[in-house]
Amino acid sequence: MDWLYPTCNVVQRFTLRAFADWEVTGRENVPSMGPLVVVANHLSNLDPPLLGASLPRRIRFLAKDTLFVGGPLVRWFLGSYGAFPVNRDGADVRAYRWALNLLNNDGALVVFPEGTRSKNGQMQKAKPGVVGLVRSAKASILPVAITGTERMGTWMRAVNPTGRIRVRIGEVFSLPDIEGRLSKEVTESLNTMIMQRVAELLPEEYRGEYRDLGRSVRSAD
Residue in 127, 141, 126 with CA at minimum distance from that of residue 172: 141
Q: Could you tell me the pLDDT band of residue 221, with boundaries at 50, 70 and 90?
A: very low
pLDDT at 220: 36
Hey, what long-range contacts does 133-136 have (CB within 8 A, 24 or more apart)?
A: 133/37, 133/96, 133/99, 133/100, 133/103, 134/37, 134/175, 134/194, 135/175, 135/182, 136/100
pLDDT at 38: 98
pLDDT at 180: 84
Domain that holds residue 189: 4-220
- Alpha-carbon dihedral sign for residues 80, 83, 87, 92: positive
Pairing mode of beta strands 140-147, 163-169: antiparallel
Asked if the model's pLDDT at residue 212 lies above 90, the reply is no
Q: What is the mean pLDDT of residues 187-202?
A: 95
List b or e across 11-27, with b for residues whose CB sees 16 or more CB atoms inside 10 angstroms: ebbebbeeebebebebe
Contact yes or no for 197/173 (Cβ under 8 A)? yes
CA atoms within 13 A on the CB side of 71: 1
Percentage of the chain beyond pLDDT 90 is 72
pLDDT at 152: 85
pLDDT at 91: 75
One-letter amino acid at 22 equals: W
One-letter amino acid at 68 equals: F
Q: Could you tell me the pLDDT band of residue 213, with boundaries at 50, 70 and 90?
A: low
pLDDT at 69: 84
- The structural domain count of the chain equals 1
Determine the Cα–Cα distance for residues 159 and 18; give it in Å rounded to an integer: 10
